[in-house]
């Protein structure tokens, strides 16, 4: 198992797919990011309320984008892992998260670890939204970690200060962050090992002595 100094070189970002003040999705995402922090990783919560994003309209890449679209990409691109958090709306994930993802692409997601957090006001949880996001992760050539957290009846899980009242839910949310960090670390080691194996197996420079 890698030590915390290894994890300190990792960056995990969490994208909140809710714009609502007092959002349970944002509260849950913060808990998941704390799980990643406990491994030693650096984390950043990307609150889409702080970005003025245009609707994705299929414009060519060379055309002018609002500055906050570029800022969003710049914040996500260096990350080794990404936690996507969403409320479930009508059996799917939120439109604001969909638009944010559509404004990005392979440069921000490909080959990275993705963790999923879903929030629901009802008793059935957010499994439909999370299953949809798994498909998005595959389409972007990302690795969606096995662990996910669906929080039903979110209004009954958090107190007025945004703190969790249910320790089991807290454990599940933190485990999402831990898995994203751990799998990102393993993936990073694997890529480094593959590079070393290719380097050691490369032919000698024909122009050398």
Domain enclosing residue 87, as ranges: 4-201
CATH classification of the domain holding 152: 3.40.50.360
Listed in sequence order, the DSSP H helices in the chain are: 4-7, 24-39, 67-76, 95-102, 106-109, 127-139, 167-201
Tokens of residue 203, six digits: 């032919």
* pTM for this entry: 0.88
- Domain assignment of residue 209, yes or no: no
Domain count for the chain, please give it.
Answer: 1
- Domain assignment of residue 208, yes or no: no
- Domain assignment of residue 185, yes or no: yes
Hey, CA dihedral for 145, 179, 112, 87, is it positive or negative?
positive
- Domain assignment of residue 206, yes or no: no
**pLDDT tens, residue by residue, 168-181:** 999 999 999 999 99
**Per-residue model confidence (pLDDT) at position 194:** 57
């Amino acid at each position: 198992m890698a030590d915390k100094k290894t994890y300190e070189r990792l960056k995990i970002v969490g994208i909140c797919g809710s714009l609502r003040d007092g959002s349970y999705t944002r509260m849950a995402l913060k808990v998941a990011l704390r799980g990643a922090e406990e491994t030693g990783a650096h984390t950043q919560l990307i609150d889409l309320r702080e970005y003025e994003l245009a609707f994705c309209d299929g414009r060519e890449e060379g055309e002018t984008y609002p500055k906050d679209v570029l800022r969003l990409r710049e914040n996500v691109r260096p990350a080794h892992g990404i936690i996507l958090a969403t409320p479930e709306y009508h059996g799917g994930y939120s439109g604001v998260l969909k638009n944010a993802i559509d404004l990005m692409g392979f440069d921000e997601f490909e080959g990275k670890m993705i963790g999923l957090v879903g929030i629901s006001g009802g008793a059935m949880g957010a499994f439909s939204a999370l299953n949809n996001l798994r498909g998005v992760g595959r389409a972007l050539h990302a690795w969606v970690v096995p662990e996910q957290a669906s929080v039903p009846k979110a209004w009954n899980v958090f107190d007025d200060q945004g703190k969790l009242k249910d320790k089991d839910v807290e454990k599940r949310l933190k485990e999402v962050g831990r898995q994203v960090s751990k799998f990102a670390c393993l993936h990073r080691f694997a890529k480094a090992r593959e590079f070393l194996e290719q380097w050691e197996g490369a032919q000698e420079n024909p122009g050398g002595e």
